[in-house]
């Protein structure tokens, strides 16, 4: 997609590893007081404030497994790679503060392509107020691999784990679900059309929200602050990367509880509903199993419901039950179906 013969292409070998790192990070600015030393030494030095704990998460994105460069612009990929990691920090009720970025690249990528990738990464760090403090680059024989580690901080008594949900707690989700998966289906369809007819123009006007949710997701930085402002501390929390059903099951298993999830409460964007009809897909199945929404799923005490009930960012979708009651979806027809994790799994065989 970036191998346009009219564009200037600088081989990575012209710069070498250290020259490449210097080139890609020359515009990095340090903004946080907790960053004592960023790029340029053997390790970053980060100050952990008194009474606060550090939270750390890392993710690996592999070309051909997690992304397809035939329709994923490199700038968007850089941005999304950061979001994937920040989302995990916010799911701990923490504030993201720093990231490190490591790349493995093959020689088919010119320096200009990596500049695009880093442009997306740096845009994300500016918008989300995190410092890029280190990383690594190496060569790859199988395309592009991106590994990002995110670091955050939170008051020690404010950390939220997956394991704290209690019986009668309410199950709450942010935003809406299923759009990112449908965006991927739209892009895959347009890719097949293009492969059959390279002169065909992509038809994406009716799917702008879906495509944006796939190519440029946003992590929910606003939610930990929103909940603190509402004086609500979740009893458990997880981010929705692999599909709602998988994440609910993670919460329930870690907390040793059951749940009832109500189908008619699952928040869906109108574009999700109309596109499901067009593709002959069931919208509930898409919301449950689609993944890559990067919304937050959490539980709260029943007495906190009045504090959140009027907030348009939050939807109560069910409640926690005893472990022996199991995990169930309550359908619109009022039937009870066991919840099954059918979310995306990178380890599945083709």
170-338 fold: Phosphoribosyl-aminoimidazole Synthetase; Chain A, domain 2 (3.90.650)
pLDDT digits (tens, 9 = 90+) for 163-187: 999 999 999 999 999 999 999 999 9
Q: Is the dihedral of CA 151, 88, 145, 110 positive or negative?
A: negative
State residue 12's pLDDT score.
75
Task: Give the whole-number percent of the chain exceeding pLDDT 70.
Answer: 95
pLDDT digits (tens, 9 = 90+) for 28-83: 888 888 889 888 878 889 887 778 999 999 999 999 999 999 999 999 999 999 99
**pLDDT above 60: residue 1:** no
Q: Taking residues 83-91, report their average pLDDT.
A: 97
Reported as a pLDDT band with limits 50, 70 and 90, residue 348 is low
State residue 173's pLDDT score.
98
Reported as a pLDDT band with limits 50, 70 and 90, residue 102 is very high
State residue 345's pLDDT score.
54
**pLDDT above 70: residue 123:** yes
Pairing status of strand 327-330 against strand 258-262: parallel
More confident residue, 249 or 17: 249
Domain(s) of CATH 3.30.1330.10: residues in the chain: 12-155
- The Cα–Cα gap between 98 and 101 comes to 10
Task: List own/partner pairs for 245-248 with CB under 8 A and 24 or more apart.
Answer: 245/288, 245/289, 245/329, 245/339, 245/340, 245/341, 245/342, 245/343, 246/289, 246/291, 246/341, 246/342, 246/343, 247/297, 247/343, 248/171, 248/297, 248/327, 248/339
- Cβ within 8 Å of residue 65, ≥6 positions away: 346
The token duo for 239 is: 């981010």
pLDDT digits (tens, 9 = 90+) for 249-279: 999 999 999 999 999 999 999 999 999 999 9
Q: Is the dihedral of CA 138, 140, 146, 147 positive or negative?
A: negative
State residue 344's pLDDT score.
52
How many CB atoms are located within 10 Å of the residue 59 CB?
A: 17
**pLDDT above 60: residue 248:** yes
State residue 50's pLDDT score.
76
State residue 281's pLDDT score.
96
Domain(s) of CATH 3.90.650.10: residues in the chain: 170-338
Q: How many residues does the chain have?
A: 350
State residue 7's pLDDT score.
55
More confident residue, 253 or 16: 253
State residue 17's pLDDT score.
67
Reported as a pLDDT band with limits 50, 70 and 90, residue 24 is confident
Q: Picking from 100-114, 199-213, 246-260, which range would have the lowest pLDDT averaged per residue?
A: 199-213
Architecture of 12-155 per CATH? 2-Layer Sandwich (3.30)
User: Which residue do the tokens 């903004």 mark?
Assistant: 31
Q: Picking from 194-198, 269-273, 339-343, which range would have the lowest pLDDT averaged per residue?
A: 339-343
- Highest mean pLDDT pick, 45-54, 63-72, 138-147, 216-225: 216-225
State residue 2's pLDDT score.
34
- The Cα–Cα gap between 177 and 284 comes to 9
pLDDT, the chain, mean: 91
Reported as a pLDDT band with limits 50, 70 and 90, residue 5 is very low
State residue 6's pLDDT score.
44
Beta strands in 63-144 (DSSP E): 95-105, 131-139
Query: Residue 262 pairs with which residues in a beta bridge?
Result: 330
């Amino acid at each position: 997609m970036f191998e346009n013969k009219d564009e200037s292409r600088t081989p990575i070998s012209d710069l070498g590893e250290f020259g490449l790192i210097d080139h890609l990070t020359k515009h990095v600015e340090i903004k946080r007081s907790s960053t004592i030393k960023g790029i340029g030494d053997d390790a970053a030095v980060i100050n952990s404030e008194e009474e606060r704990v550090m939270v750390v998460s890392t993710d690996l994105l592999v070309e051909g497994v997690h992304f397809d460069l035939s329709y994923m612009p490199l700038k968007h990929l850089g941005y999304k790679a950061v979001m994937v990691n920040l989302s995990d920090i916010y799911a701990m009720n923490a504030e993201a503060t720093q990231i490190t970025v490591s790349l493995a690249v093959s020689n088919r990528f010119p320096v200009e392509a990596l500049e695009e990738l880093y442009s997306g990464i740096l845009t994300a760090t500016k918008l989300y107020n995190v410092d890029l403090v280190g990383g690594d680059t190496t060569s790859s024989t199988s395309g592009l691999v991106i590994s990002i580690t995110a670091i955050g901080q939170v008051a020690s008594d404010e950390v939220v784990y997956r394991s704290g949900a209690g019986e009668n707690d309410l199950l709450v989700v942010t935003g809406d679900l299923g759009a990112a998966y449908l965006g991927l289906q739209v892009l895959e369809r347009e890719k097949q059309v293009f492969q059959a007819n390279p002169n065909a123009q992509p038809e994406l006007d009716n799917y702008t929200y879906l495509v944006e949710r796939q190519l440029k997701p946003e992590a929910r930085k606003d939610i930990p602050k929103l909940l603190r402002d509402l004086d609500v501390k979740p009893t458990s929390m997880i981010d929705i990367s692999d599909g709602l059903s998988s994440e609910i099951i993670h919460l329930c298993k870690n907390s040793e509880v059951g749940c009832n999830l109500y189908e008619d409460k699952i928040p869906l964007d109108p574009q999700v509903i109309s596109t499901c009809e067009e593709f002959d897909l069931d919208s509930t199945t898409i919301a449950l199993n689609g993944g890559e929404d990067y919304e937050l799923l959490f539980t709260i005490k029943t007495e906190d419901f009045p504090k959140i009930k009027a907030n348009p960012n939050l939807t109560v979708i069910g409640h926690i039950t005893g472990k022996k009651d199991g995990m169930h979806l309550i359908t619109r027809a009022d039937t009870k179906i066991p919840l099954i994790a059918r979310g995306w799994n990178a380890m599945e065989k083709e």
